[in-house]
Amino acid sequence: MKRPAGAGSARGSGVKKPLLPSPGTVFFRAVKLRPLAVLILVSLAAPLAAQTTSPEINLTVKRGPGALDVTLEWTGGQPSFEVYRSADPSAVCRADTLLGVTDIPSWIDVAPPDTVFYKVHNPSSAEPAEVCNGVDDDCDGIIDDNATNCNAALCQACIGGACRNRCGACEDCVNGSCQTRCGPCQTCLNGTCGPCDAGQCQACTSGVCQSTCDSSLCQACGVNGTCASTCATCESCLGGICMDACDRTQCLSCQSGACKPFCDPVCQTCTAQGCTDTCGPCQRCVNGACHSRCDPNNCEDCIDGMCRSRCAPTETCAGGICQPSSTGSIPG
């Protein structure tokens, strides 16, 4: 039997190449191995207690045959069997923890020095129930999905590998659902129901805590529970939206809370038509500098204030150079 590449080694016969995990039954047993100590089987759900075995696969682990070996043996299921090992119980059944695949119901592994967890997986075996323990019990690739041991009647949910109350600080579980203990115009603050929070600009309206700030006036709750405008000093509120209030006819816009010119200070000036370039003919202002509008690659020059081709009728522009035309006739 080849020793499979990966987390450990194995001896015996019937070993195949390692496979990716596939849906099906997994019997899981946590195996704690200590050097020169008796083998201890540990359940993930209840440490130091025997774990309920799968009705299809029953795994046992013992030391030997060599001094540094540990032997896994199991009954039930049908070949092929996938054997996993990991120091992290939540990682067992991941592809990178696969030791190998065998057709015989046994596996010999080199005993790791620390606590490890083994799992034998077989697609034809019945799946164990998924429980809330931070482990992929049924080897479907999802941890704690559809856990069966949390009590919905007590408003429990599987959170972080444990059954926990899903209700909020000011809620009670009633008939399996979370219901608030706070009455009308009360809010939950640090687990205690209290009146509407004036510091959040709240007031009681029709039995509900509502903000006293008017969003249509662009208001929000500011310091000391006072409604304040969200608009800058150079903006005005229009239909709940802060709009630029600077004089556009003077080429001004609201910038960093103040009206400032938006024309280029170097090569533009403000006119009734807006920002106008102060550059010469055939030029435009770009980032504080005047640049020619004419395209030298098309053999253009500024002629009479306009970009025109400098080539003669019998010439063509090639690479920005006027050259004699290779086609057509030359006028007499």
- 101-129 pLDDT, tens digit per residue, is 999 999 999 978 888 889 898 877 776 78
Query: Which among 166, 156, 116 has a CA at the least distance from the CA of 132?
Result: 156
- Taking the model in full, what pTM does it have? 0.41
Give the C-alpha separation, 253 to 239, whole Å: 20
Q: Which is nearest to 119 in space by CA: 212, 25, 247, 217?
A: 25
Nearest to 53 by CA among 76, 21, 32: 76
How do residues 215-272 score in pLDDT, each as one tens digit?
A: 999 999 998 899 999 999 999 999 999 999 999 999 999 999 999 999 999 999 999 9
Closest CA to 30 of 134, 129, 126, 123: 134
> Are 99 and 110 spatial neighbours (Cβ–Cβ below 8 Å)?
no
23-54 per-position pLDDT tens digit? 333 334 444 444 323 333 333 333 323 334 44
Residue labelled with tokens 């510091």: 199
Closest among 19, 23, 33, 30 to 53, alpha carbons compared: 30
pLDDT at position 100 is 93
Share of the chain above pLDDT 70, in %: 81
Ranked by mean pLDDT, which of 149-153, 267-271, 308-312 comes out on top? Answer: 267-271
**How far is Cα 195 from Cα 182, in angstroms, rounded to an integer?**
9
pLDDT value of position 55: 55
> Alpha-carbon distance 204 to 195, whole Å?
8
255, two tokens: 């910038």
